[in-house]
Amino acid sequence: MHQLSRASVLFVCLGNICRSPLAEAAFRAEVSKAGIAVRIDSCGTAGYHVGSPPDPRSIETAAANGIDISGLKGRQLAPQDFIEFDYIFAMDHQNLRDIKAVQPDHATAHVSLLMDIVPGREGAAIADPYYDGEGQFTYTWEDVTLAARALVQKLSAAQ
Ligand code: 4NP
């Protein structure tokens, strides 16, 4: 496929072990189905889980949907992310505030709430499943999959 440029997308939550690895996984799956080329990564606003694999419940949820995320390693949002990525998506409103609080003046990335790209779900948060049961991770997966599909449509239209 001939492409002039490859879009780049970064998913951001608090710890980079629950929601953003699932958003990354769902988006990788949809991107691969659509056959488009996109650079994809995820990170956390906090540094609690730097170097750690995703939460076992996230690994299990992704695996149940055919995607192996066991090799991902947590990392924290860094200033260069605002230059290196075209789009930075926050999972919830606190993530969005925390991202904007460290956004450098020379940032070029578009920063927004992930669910803003899903028609009818604008302004909604991807609820933090960390303190909830395994069932909550299924809802997380459903939401990130809706967002992944909407984002693939948007990027496909642009390519
Ligand atoms: P995430 O979930 O932001 O979706 O990765 C959390 C992970 C860890 C913590 C909180 C939320 N924590 O407090 O350690």
For residue 1, the model assigns a pLDDT of 43
Residue 159 is assigned to a structural domain of this protein: no
- Which residue is catalytic, options 81, 98, 128, 143? 128
Residue 96 tokens read as 């969005």
Quote the tokens at residue 100: 């904007």
Q: Domain containing 147 — which CATH number?
A: 3.40.50.2300
Please state, in angstroms and rounded to a whole number, the distance separating the CA atoms of residues 132 and 112. Answer: 25
112: enclosing H helix or E strand: strand 110-113
Token pair 């609080």 is at which residue?
Answer: 101
Determine the pLDDT at residue 134. 83
Q: How far is the CA of 17 from the centre of ligand 1 (A)?
A: 6
Which 3 state secondary structure label does DSSP give 36? coil
> Known catalytic residue: 6?
no
55 is catalytic: no
Asked if 19 is an active-site residue, the reply is yes
Rg of the chain over all Cα atoms, to the nearest angstrom: 14
Using the atom order of ligand 1, give the atom closest to the CA of residue 95.
3
How many domains does the chain fold into?
A: 1
Residue 133: what pLDDT?
A: 83
pTM, two decimals, is 0.96
- Identify the domain containing residue 72 by its residue range: 7-154
pLDDT, residue 2, reads: 43
Enumerate residues lining ligand 1, CB below 6 A.
13-19, 48, 128, 130
How many Å lie between the centroid of ligand 1 and the Cα of residue 2?
39
Question: Consecutive sets of 10 residues in the chain, 159 residues long: mean pLDDT of each?
Answer: 73 98 98 95 98 98 96 98 98 98 98 98 97 92 98 89
- Ligand 1 pocket mutation, candidates 11, 12, 13, 14, criterion most atoms within 8 A of CB: 14
Closest Cα to residue 81, out of 65, 58, 63, 99? Answer: 99
> How far is Cα 83 from Cα 20, in angstroms, rounded to an integer?
19
pLDDT of residue 5: 66
pLDDT for 3: 47
Q: Is residue 90 part of a domain?
A: yes
